[in-house]
Structure 1
Amino acid sequence: MGKAGRIVCIVTPYLLTVAALICLIIVGIGSTDNGTDSLRDLYFSQADLRDLNSSSPIQSSVSDVLDDLNISVDDGDISTALEEVQKYFNIPDFYNIGLLGYCEGNITNDKYHVSNCSSPKAEFWFNPVDVWNLATLGLENALPDDVDNALNVYKNVSKWMFVAYVIAFAATALELLLGITAIFSRWGSCVTTLIAIAAFLFTAAASATSTAMFAVVTGVFNDQIKPYGIEGSMGRNIYAATWLATAFSLAAALFWAISSCCCSGRSPYNHRHGRNRGSITAEKAPYTYEPVGSAYPSPQPPYTAAPPQYPQGPQRTTSYEPFRHV
């Protein structure tokens, strides 16, 4: 097998690493482009404002806002007032919140049409006070305290979540580069395994953080302001992508670890007791013999006498050949 077997051994973890990196990229580009349907459907949480109605706790300030805007409504018709304010500021029907930004749009015949997406931003967090123009209306303190607290937690945790995703992406990309060295040695697999473990830990942490954080924020929004016409919901595709990235990253780390223990790249013919396959020679076993010649050495002086002559008999070959001990 040799190097070919080594390459086959690391193909599986390498492909798993590529899959994890693709999933992380999908998470990062979600809700950053309004031109692709698949990207518009990638969001952690969605705020639906279609049913914004008159039950809002900010109704005491609405009349002042309407006076400033010179909008006339009947007394007590807070529903019409909020509708007019919404039209004046052109507040969209929904907002999709992603990792680096958000997308907004309107709903027609139960179909979501994204009209605009914000520019990608590091450590992004969705601030409804700014996005919904509450500060412009002088209503920045109108949100319930529980919602404010949840938004403060979301603001702080979103920074850690962004850092975790960045580290996970960088570690996974580095894992791909180091995976090439794993073809040639087990040491390369060991180093790659360490990076793969780090990539898995940060990917899992980022996935768990995003899931838990947006579940809490969405739950608080629905508990506190859903009666006023603002409903929150969690996405599906982006969570599938982030948890698939976690699963692929874990599997890759396991297979990298296996490749560091098995599938050596050394040829089976190059071990320390082997020889070159092109010129294989047999080693001498102990206590073997080899021929020393066709006859014994001639006697040397002072034995100069001629050997005795005997009648010539029939010639015959010897039944054995003398050997000497080596």
Structure 2
Amino acid sequence: MGKAGRVACIFTPYVLTIASLICIIMVGLGCTKSSSDTLNNLYFMRIDLQNITSEGSETVTEIENLLEQYGITDVSAQNVSNVLSKLQQDSTLADFYQIGLWGYCDGDINNKKTNVTECSKPKSEFYFNPFSVWGLDSSDIKDELPSEYNKVMNIYKTVSKWMFIAYLVAFIVTIVEIVVGFFAICSRWGSCVTTLFALLAFLFTAAASITSTVLFSIFKSSLGTTLKAYGISLSMGKNIYVATWLAVAFSLGALIFWTFSVCCCSGRSPYGHRNNNNTRGITAEKAPYTYEPLGAGQVPYGHQQPTSYPAPAAHGGQYPMTTTNQRSNAYEPFRHS
């Protein structure tokens, strides 16, 4: 397979790598621009506070049973009610909040239609701290919080930091993979190096996608049912998870095809191999009836090998005339086969 075949073999993983990069960029752009409806629909989780109330729709016993079901034993229904009551009194809340990778957006809901009004400034290693975002850092609010609140928030902060780093590394390594992929056209060594970067890109993209999916799934399952009784609903975004798992699928496909290009799709032509004498591997057979030089010790066709006789003593051991002046490269008249 020549260079053209090599280029065709590299084309597929190259396109898959670019597609994976585009998906990662879409994840990073979510919740960064309030005027873009497309980017506003890219969020990990939405917190809907439109119908928040401090009076639960269920009984105190039912709420406490739900808290115990998810391992929240140091929080009572009265604690939740007190926090939400002060939340309504002490702050001006938006109808909803959307959490992205670099920040969050908030807005209003009119006739069941969401309208994003503002997005936070993008920040590295972002995590959503509800009381900080809502301006509820006063001591009277914190007094109503459970004792393990800070511990839970520290875990969430650590996981969010790792998730951000994983997405960032996946983005950088995927770009490097695209750049190094140019050298894969020239040789299998280029494919080998590109495959190493493709493996790193896949691992970090998959790790980031798994982290984000598991993290917000736990939040929704553990808190969603309880908070729903107080008019607060949690929902996971759809588009951003489609984008992040498509990035994983494209990255995996690119890794497979880059690996295939290391084993196959050589850029050398099968007719271009030479032997040690720098000649073609296939030699032509000599045609009959052609002239060729005679080597040492060969005699022309039809001639006999001259016989040496001792020179007579009368001439001093030498012949008066010799007829041995023959051409060393005489040609055979015809070669018969």
Task: Tell me which residue corresponds to 1:220.
Answer: 222
Which has the larger displacement, 7-16 or 213-222? 213-222
2:274 to 251, 272, 275: 272
8 A Cα contact 1:91 1:132, kept in partner: yes
Identity percentage over the alignment?
48
Deviation at 1:274, TM superposition (A): 11
Q: Which residue of 1 aligns with 2:60?
A: none
**CA shift for structure 1 position 138:** 3.0
Which residue of 168, 172, 175 maps to 2:174?
Answer: 172
- The Cα of 1:109 is off from its aligned counterpart by 0.3
Task: Please name the residue that 1:247 is paired with.
Answer: 249
TM-score, normalisation: structure 2: 0.75
Q: Contact (CA 8 Å) 2:10, 2:184: kept in 1 or not?
A: yes
- The residue type equivalent to 1:9 in the other structure is C
| 1:236–1:322 CA distance, 2 compared to 1 (3 A) | same
Q: Is the 8 A contact 1:17 1:176 kept in 2?
A: yes
Cα deviation, residue 82, structure 1: 6.5
RMSD, matched Cα: 3.5
1:46 aligns with 2:46: yes
CA drift at 1:148: 5.5
Instruction: Output the CA distance in 2 between the equivalents of 1:61 and 1:213.
Output: 24
Opposite residue 50 of structure 2, the aligned amino acid is R
- Show the counterpart of 1:57: 79
State how far apart, in whole Å, the 1-side matches of 2:218 and 2:101 are. 16
AA in 2 matched with 1:31? C
Task: State the SS of the aligned residue for 2:141.
Answer: coil
Q: 1:61 to 1:38 in 2, by over 3 A?
A: closer
CA spacing shift, 1:115–1:275, aligned 2, 3 Å: farther
Deviation sequence 1:129-159 (CA, Å, 0-9, x none): 1112222473134345676654332111011
The answer to whether the 8 Å contact 1:292/1:322 transfers is: no
Judged with a 3 Å threshold, the aligned counterparts in structure 2 of structure 1 residues 114 and 244 are, in CA distance, closer, same or farther, namely same
> What TM-score, normalized to structure 1?
0.77
Cα shift at 1:227: 1.9
* In 2: Cα distance, 1:273 partner to 1:45 partner: 66
Which residue of the partner structure matches residue 313 of structure 1? none
Task: State which drifts further: 41-50 or 217-226.
Answer: 217-226
Tell me if the contact between 2:32 and 2:121 (Cα under 8 Å) persists in the aligned partners: yes
Q: Which residue of 2 aligns with 1:70?
A: none
Gaps of 5+ in 2: 56-77, 295-299, 307-318, 324-331
CA distance in 2 between counterparts of 1:257 and 1:291 reads 53
Are the structure 2 counterparts of residues 233 and 122 from structure 1 closer, same or farther at C-alpha, using a change threshold of 3 Å? Answer: same
Letter in 2 for 1:261: C
Amino acid at match of 1:18: I
| Equivalent AA in structure 1 for residue 224 of structure 2 | N
Relative to 1, partners in 2 of residues 1:9 and 1:130: Cα closer, same or farther, differing over 3 Å? same
Name the CA distance, whole Å, in 1 between partners of 2:145 and 2:124. 26
Q: After TM superposition, where is structure 1 displaced by more than 6 Å over at least 4 residues in a row?
A: 274-277, 293-301
- Contact persistence 1:52–1:228 (CA under 8 A): yes
> What is the DSSP-based 3-state SS (H/G/I as helix, E as strand, rest coil) of the residue aligned with 1:138?
helix
- Return the alpha-carbon distance in structure 2 between the equivalents of residues 135 and 59 of structure 1: 18
Q: How does 1:13-32 map to 2 (within 5 A)?
A: 13-32=13-32
Residue correspondence of structure 1 range 99-138 to structure 2 within 5 A: 99-136=101-138, 138=140
Q: What is the number of equivalent residue pairs in this alignment?
A: 287
1:176-232: per-residue Cα shift (whole Å, max 9, x none)?
001000000000000000110111011000000010011112222214433222221
* Counterparts of 2:124 and 2:262, CA distance in 1: 37
Deviation track 1:37-68 (CA, whole Å, cap 9, x = no partner) reads 01001000111101111327365589xxxxxx
